[in-house]
Structure 1
Amino acid sequence: MRYADGPGVHDEVHIGAAPAEVWRLVADIGLPARISTELQRVEWLDGATGPALGAAFEGHNRHPMAGEWRTVSHIVALEPERLFTWAVTDPDNRFGGGPADPALPLATWKFELLPEDGGTLLRQSVRVGPAPSGLSVAISRMPDREEQILAMRLGELREGIRATLEGVKRLAEEPALDGGADAAAGAGSGSASGSGSGA
């Protein structure tokens, strides 16, 4: 396994709610930040107020080994109630990839929703690269440990995805809990990493 190959992880969960209700939650870019310990906050940019093809949002991240960094994500695929994909870029060139370009992201995240058994199958995935990221910086310092570094980070991302999926499931199946950070945080307690703004 190599960074240049664009490795990734995914997970999925069945939710006992209609795709429209699940979509309302996954289209809220602030939800992962309420669950995650890595993604600290997000905000729409350039006047955007919700998901639209080409819209951008800023993410602020913190990791005990990588420190703090800012990303700008661009929505690159959008089908309401079915697909939400965003490409994460490095606007400050912190990782040395040059000008931020959503066609060459440091990571690509995706939510997919499919009707299933009267509810919704929700899948979240992430693919890292091809642009340099904190992960590739770590690999450049210890190239002989590339597979171990990748496996560790992908494990963190998988845990973050699982926490996000479980948080969405809980909020969708118990709508009375929605609307409070405490409920989302409770749904995702134990999350080891962010879901949605970094790699």
Structure 2
Amino acid sequence: GLGGLGGLGGLGGGRCEEGGVRYSEGPGASGDVYIEAVPAQVWDLVTDIGLPARLSPELQRAEWVDGATGPALGARFTGYNRHPGLGEWRTVSHVVALQDQRTFAWVVVDPDGRFGEPSADASHPLATWRFDIEPEGAGTRLRQSARIGPARSGVSLAIDRMPEREAEIVSMRLDELRTNIDATLRGIKTLAEANR
């Protein structure tokens, strides 16, 4: 998370008969936090593509490309990532939903073929990310969501090695995403409330 994506409602994904979620079903994770700051302050933080690199362990840095200097529908940014099990890789993200002080969403593609065939096709992402902002009382409710697939990703590489453990692998990745989302939301809350 992340238009054409609706609200990514029902992010939990479907269940396979063994009781686990399959990668092909586009499972996801999400979290939300109440922030004692106005939506405009929260918006400035969520649309800062460099901020998650300071708050979450996987993204190392991000930068706008193709002359973009900030969020705009269709704008692209490059992310540089690191994961203990996968090493380092580059992604390109396409902004696919943007509504001022409400929604910022992007899809992630694998232009270098790190996980399969190289692809810059935003209609077939390896992940979709989304922030949604709602005014709540004197403050703001911030929700972040992520959905994995359908294009190949690091999860696909692990499933290739251990196909019988697909549900467990997907579940572990969703747990990682929840941890990263929680860290990002906590960080944004701290920064927004400190800057009131």
TM-score class, shorter: 0.7 to 0.9
Query: In the alignment, is residue 20 of structure 1 matched against residue 8 of structure 2?
Result: no
1:175 corresponds in structure 2 to 195
Partner of 1:45: 65
Q: Distance in 1 between matches of 2:194 and 2:123?
A: 38
Name the aligned partner's letter for residue 148 of structure 1: E
For 2:167, the equivalent position in structure 1 comes to 147
1:161 counterpart residue number = 181
Q: Deviations over 1:41-90 (max 9, x none)?
A: 11000111100000000000011101111000000010010000000000
- Give the partner amino acid of 2:47: A
SS of aligned partner of 1:99: coil
**How many residues are paired up?**
176
Structure 1 residues 133-154: Cα deviation after superposition (integer angstroms, max 9, x where no partner) = 0111111110000011111111
The answer for the alignment partner of 1:34 in structure 2 is 54
State whether residues 83 and 111 of structure 1, in contact with CA within 8 Å, keep that contact through their aligned partners in structure 2. yes
**1:100, distance to aligned residue in structure 2 (A):** 1.9
- TM-superposition CA deviations, 1:131-181 (whole Å, max 9, x none): 0001111111100000111111110110000000000000000118xxxxx
Match of residue 188 from structure 1: none
State the SS of the aligned residue for 1:164. Answer: helix
**Greater per-residue helix proportion:** 1
Q: Gaps (5+ residues) in structure 1?
A: 177-199
TM-score computed with the length of structure 1 as normaliser: 0.87
In structure 2, distance between residues paired with 1:69 and 1:100? 15
Separation in structure 2 between the aligned mates of residue 53 and residue 46 of structure 1, nearest angstrom: 13
- Residue identity over aligned pairs, in percent, reads 63
The alpha-carbon deviation at position 98 of structure 1 amounts to 4.0
Q: CA RMSD for the aligned pairs?
A: 0.9
Matched, 1:89 2:109: yes
